Chains A and B, each alone.
Chain A
Amino acid sequence: MISLRGRASDFGPGQHLDRAVWMVVDRDRLTPQRHGRAYKLRDCEEAPPGFGLYLVDDARFAPRDGAWIALPPLLRYVAAGDVISASESGEHVRVLWRAGSPNNSVLLTERCDHYCLMCSQPPKERDDDWLLDNAAELIRLLPTSTPGIGFTGGEPTIYGERLIELLRLCRNLLPDAGVHVLSNGRRFANFGFARSWASVDNPRMMVGIPLYGAEPALHDYVVQSEGAFEDTVRGIVNLGEVGQRIEIRVVIHQQTAPALPEIAEYIARNLPFVEQVALMGLEMMGFARANVKDVWIDPLDYQPELREAVSLLALRRVRTMIYNHQLCLLDRELWPFAVRSISDWKNEYHAECTDCSARDRCGGFFFSAKYKVSESIRAIPAAETQAPALLSLGR
């Protein structure tokens, strides 16, 4: 687990930073650009002049001139190429972008019109438009060659056209980047908005939309909102009509696990135009803990349903992936579908994993798994890893 925010251990007294978002540079990665750059000083290093902000690991080495922040120990990993945001005084620091990470995901808002039973990031009803502004600044600072960027919430589409503008900025400034946006999909039930989304015209853009049932009652219950299924399905259809790339995400928990085959059948027949389906293990964070008795299920207990769901999709050529599952809890024949998907900053391994022969192929655990995890976690002996899957699911 890597921390993404913290309080400065010290900062320049009485300083007022003139901007919130900064790209970190240092001695080795120094460009002529100064605008929006924060210079990270090594210990004892003489501060080059002209930067709006300096970062130090230790306040003793703070520069004499200019604004500075001494990073707390947990954020000292911040290095050149990373992007941070800081409060006006410099006291509060967030890491927005880590250059070394393959999965950078940018939070656009904490507001949401759903209230999912297992939400790992419970919504907060307060004005946080500044997150959107920061995201735009981030995009302006990132290298043109950035390979990918994700946007999450809350529900990013609450911004409406302002989200579309951000995505357009993304297409124009980061032409090589795969862009992934997580949304509950309801706003796309408005065809005008779906068309607006399509007008971004970025072939590298994909929207990930959760679906928790093959009919309204279950989905609406899981997201705690009437009419959600109806809107989301119509939204997906509209996005399909305008030729957009769609990923459907199904979080597997106690409520959705029994319905997995039905959901898979529903997707294969009704929404076969989606690009991929991600079947996702539960993250024991946020509301999932509050609702543990209604959502927790040991992955071992839903293997038959998961196998059936994967057959129903993959054999009909719908690209199917299993996220967030430890291989020791997954049927051997499902391994080819497992993706190492847990963001590196949330990723952990257990003591049992030390001797596991499949560790390199395994996604490991969410950091939050320490809260609750299957009791069947085990080291997989080498013979099992090398044996081919007994049944073929088309891979």
Chain B
Amino acid sequence: MSRFRGAEAFAASGDDWQLLPFRFERLNGRVLVTNMVGEHLVLSGEDFEVLATGELPADSDLVRRLRAKQVIKRSGERAPLSLLALKARTRHARLAESTGLHIFVVSLRCEHSCPYCQVSRQSEDRDRYDMTLATAERGLDMTFRSPSRSLKIEFQGGEPLLNFGLIEEVVRQAEVRNRDEGRDLGFVIASNLALLSDEVLDFCARHNIHISTSLDGPADLHNRNRPRPGRDSWERAVDGIRRVRETLGVDHISALMTTTKRSLDRVRDIIDTYVDLGLRGIFLRPLSPYGFAIKTKSYSAYDAERWIDFYREGLGYILELNRQGLDLTEYFSTVILRKMLTNVEPGYVDLMSPAGIGIGALVYNYDGSVYASDEGRMLAEMGDETFRLGHLEVDTYESIMTSEALLAPLEESFALSAPMCSDCAFETYCGSDPVYHYATSGDFLGRKSESDFCRRNMAIFKHLIDLYENDEFARRTFLSWAGR
């Protein structure tokens, strides 16, 4: 007799299988199963029946797959519980890291007059629309009150370069404070680059400041979206991007697009523009339902379906370019893929649950008002102060973080307790966006069956899983995006 026992001797005896928490969604005859922390596997309809009816055999390929993904376990096993706990803990570690992003709206003034932007003012009135040093200093007080180990300060507008003197002062003071605090401190200026001077570039180089700009695509599209005197928004942005690349480095510039109705059949042109400029990635962004967008109906002008087609075509083209050897990343997919394929929570404010508002970011408006998110500030500019958390002159970090204006939407939108979301197989990839739902449906939660947010995200999740499962090149590309 052999000293070795066969494989069957080590298969679980009997059928004492215990279900671990999992969720599922049907995908064209197959069934997507996700475990408690969002690891997925795709089962055939028949295999899923076996799991659903609880008639799992002692050993089979299916049983092995389910055990490997922690969907089932035997009663005595403890390792799967430890591992699930470890992964859940890692995923939520970012919550303890609130608040990482602090947005300073240093001026509401702007020389552009973009139709979808509600917040900016074409004005020379500095006293009225620029943030004062006193307000900025209070904003810095609050920034350093947050317990987060890493702090990112982002300057926004309007056009923040119109109040560059204040930016310089905030950066200097923040650096001085950080000598004692020792946080991982970073700066971003969100600018249209039309006013980018060599002095600004020089300052950014010396203080390691990142630049985030707007680029909607090719010149005609961009300039139609972004009117300014001289009709040269695109030319100035492109020139700015080149100079930033050369002065600060390719990793110090990123561009963000605003998607309008006119963008929808031009996704390839848009991507080509990004590639031409040597940008390493693009964010295929839905048009946000805020600001003028709602008023001018440019949002309702196209539905989620058309945007989804735009996204699919764009992602397909980006993968095609990667196949040809170009290293180009799509950032919205990357956020989701990171949630899908790693335990790291990327902390993208629109896809967090509990919602990223307040926890992920705080906005200090030019006038000292504090908002839970940039979109919350835009709503306020339209006269709805729902997401105004307080004011820098009277509130502390603690009173802001425990304000009803923050806690109510956080609690009411929490995806784990929301109808449909709590049972959704994609819940861990998604998030609750109370500002979006408030703006579109009037309550923090929104009816998911009628929510474009839900429809759009579900379509993206399914598309990404489909590509990941069926296309080896896409799978590799996605893994590398997730692993960045």
Chain A: residues with CB nearer than 8 A to chain B? 115, 117, 213-218, 220-221, 224, 226, 229-230, 233-234, 237, 255, 262, 265-266, 268-270, 272, 287, 291, 311-312, 315-317, 391, 393-394
Q: Is B64 a contact partner of A217 (Cβ separation < 8 A)? A: yes
Q: Is B476 a contact partner of A315 (Cβ separation < 8 A)? A: yes
Q: Please tell me if B82 contacts chain A, counting CB pairs below 8 Å.
A: yes
Q: Chain A contacts of B64 at CB under 8 A?
A: 214-215, 217-218, 262
Q: For chain B residues 1-52, which have a beta carbon within 8 Å of chain A?
A: 3-7, 9-12, 39
Nearest first, the 10 A-B pairs at minimum CB distance are: A214-B68, A215-B67, A315-B479, A316-B483, A221-B10, A220-B10, A233-B79, A315-B480, A221-B7, A215-B68
Task: Write the chain B residue with the least CB distance to A240.
Answer: B86
Query: In whole angstroms, what is the CA distance A214 to B482 when docked?
Result: 22
B275 to chain A, nearest CB (A): 18
Q: Please tell me if B384 contacts chain A, counting CB pairs below 8 Å.
A: no
Q: Please tell me if B341 contacts chain A, counting CB pairs below 8 Å.
A: yes
A105 to chain B, nearest CB (A): 26
Q: Is B483 a contact partner of A315 (Cβ separation < 8 A)? A: yes
Q: Which of these, A221, A272, A291, contacts B343 with CB under 8 Å? A: A272
Task: Write the chain A residue with the least CB distance to B342.
Answer: A316
Q: Chain B contacts of A266 at CB under 8 A?
A: 68
19 intermolecular pairs with C-beta atoms under 8 Å apart: A214-B67, A216-B77, A218-B64, A224-B4, A226-B10, A229-B79, A230-B77, A262-B64, A262-B68, A269-B39, A269-B87, A270-B86, A272-B342, A311-B475, A312-B479, A315-B483, A316-B341, A316-B479, A394-B480
Residues of B contacting A: mostly: helix
Q: Chain B contacts of A226 at CB under 8 A?
A: 10
A269 to chain B, nearest CB (A): 6
If A115-B3, A272-B343, A315-B482 are given as contacts, then 12 extra A-B residue pairs at C-beta distance below 8 Å, sorted by A number, are A215-B68, A217-B12, A220-B10, A229-B79, A272-B342, A287-B4, A315-B483, A316-B341, A316-B483, A391-B476, A393-B476, A394-B480
Q: Is A233 a contact partner of B83 (Cβ separation < 8 A)? A: yes
Q: Please tell me if B59 contacts chain A, counting CB pairs below 8 Å.
A: yes
Q: Is A317 a contact partner of B483 (Cβ separation < 8 A)? A: yes
Size of chain B's interface in residues, with CB distance under 8 A?
A: 33
Task: Write the chain B residue with the least CB distance to A231.
Answer: B79
Q: Chain A contacts of B206 at CB under 8 A?
A: none
B329 to chain A, nearest CB (A): 13
Q: Please tell me if B78 contacts chain A, counting CB pairs below 8 Å.
A: yes
Query: In whole angstroms, what is the CA distance A226 to B82 when docked?
Result: 19
B474 to chain A, nearest CB (A): 12
Interface centre among B12, B59, B476, B482 (most CB of A within 10 A): B476
Q: Chain A contacts of B10 at CB under 8 A?
A: 216-218, 220-221, 226
Q: Chain A contacts of B480 at CB under 8 A?
A: 315, 394
Task: Write the chain B residue with the least CB distance to A270.
Answer: B83
Q: Is B67 a contact partner of A216 (Cβ separation < 8 A)? A: yes
Interface centre among A217, A255, A266, A268 (most CB of B within 10 A): A217
Q: Which of these, A220, A221, A230, A272, contacts B78 with CB under 8 Å? A: A230
Query: In whole angstroms, what is the CA distance A311 to B483 when docked?
Result: 11
Q: Which of these, B11, B87, B341, contacts A217 with CB under 8 Å? A: B11
Task: Write the chain A residue with the least CB distance to B59.
Answer: A217
Q: Chain A contacts of B479 at CB under 8 A?
A: 311-312, 315-316
B62 to chain A, nearest CB (A): 11
B298 to chain A, nearest CB (A): 39
Query: In whole angstroms, what is the CA distance A218 to B482 when docked?
Result: 29
Query: In whole angstroms, what is the CA distance A226 to B7 when docked?
Result: 11
Q: Is B483 a contact partner of A230 (Cβ separation < 8 A)? A: no
Q: Which of these, B4, B7, B11, contacts A115 with CB under 8 Å? A: B4
Task: Write the chain A residue with the least CB distance to B35.
Answer: A269
